[in-house]
Amino acid sequence: MRPPRPPKPVRSTRDAAQRLAVALESLKGHDARLTAAELCRLAKVSRNSLYRYHTPILKSLRTQQQRGPRAAQLKMRIAADRRRLANRDLKEKIGKLATLVDHYYAAYRDATKLLARRDRELAQVRRQLSAKPLLLPAGK
C-alpha cells in the first residue's frame, strides 16, 4: 500500500496576489514572454484564478502588453498596411492620370494637324486667286 500524500499547503488569495505581482515585475523586461499563461506559471497560480480573482493584476498585465515592443510593432505594421493601401490607390490614380494625359496629347496632335491642314488650304486658295480684290464704287 502507498503512503498517503502530504496535504497541500493552503494558500490565501493575498499570497497569490503577492506572487502574481512579483512574477509580473520579473516579466516586465521580457516582452516575448509577457503572457497570462507565463505569469501564472511563474506565480504558480491557475489562469482561472487570475481571471476571476485578480483583475487588477490582469489589467496591469494588459497595459504592459500594450506598451511593449510587440504593441509598437503592431502599430508599425498597421501604419505600414495603411501606407501600402494608399500607395496602391495612388498607383491606380497614376494609371488613370497617364491615360488622361495620353488622351489630351492625342487630341492636341489632332488639333495641330487640323490647323496645319487648314493653313495649307488657305494658302492654296490665296495662290489660286489671281485677281486682286476690286474696290466697289460707292453707290449714290
Q: Is 34 exposed, middle or buried (0-12, 13-18, 19+ CB in 10 A)?
A: buried
Q: What is the rounded CA–CA span in Å between residue 116 and residue 1? A: 116
Q: What is the rounded CA–CA span in Å between residue 72 and residue 67? A: 7
φ, ψ of residue 135 to 5 degrees: the values are -90, 125
- Three-state SS for 47-83 is HHHHHHHCHHHHHHHHHHHHHCHHHHHHHHHHHHHHH
pLDDT of amino acid 56: 92
Average pLDDT over residues 79-88: 95
Query: pLDDT confidence of 3, banded at 50, 70, 90?
Result: confident
Mean confidence (pLDDT) of the chain: 86
List pLDDT tens digits, range 18-45.
Answer: 999 998 888 887 766 788 999 999 999 9
Show the DSSP H helices in the chain as ranges: 13-27, 36-43, 47-53, 55-67, 69-128
Query: Cα torsion at 106, 109, 114, 116 (round to 10°)?
Result: -170
Above 60 in pLDDT, residue 88?
A: yes
Above 90 in pLDDT, residue 11?
A: no
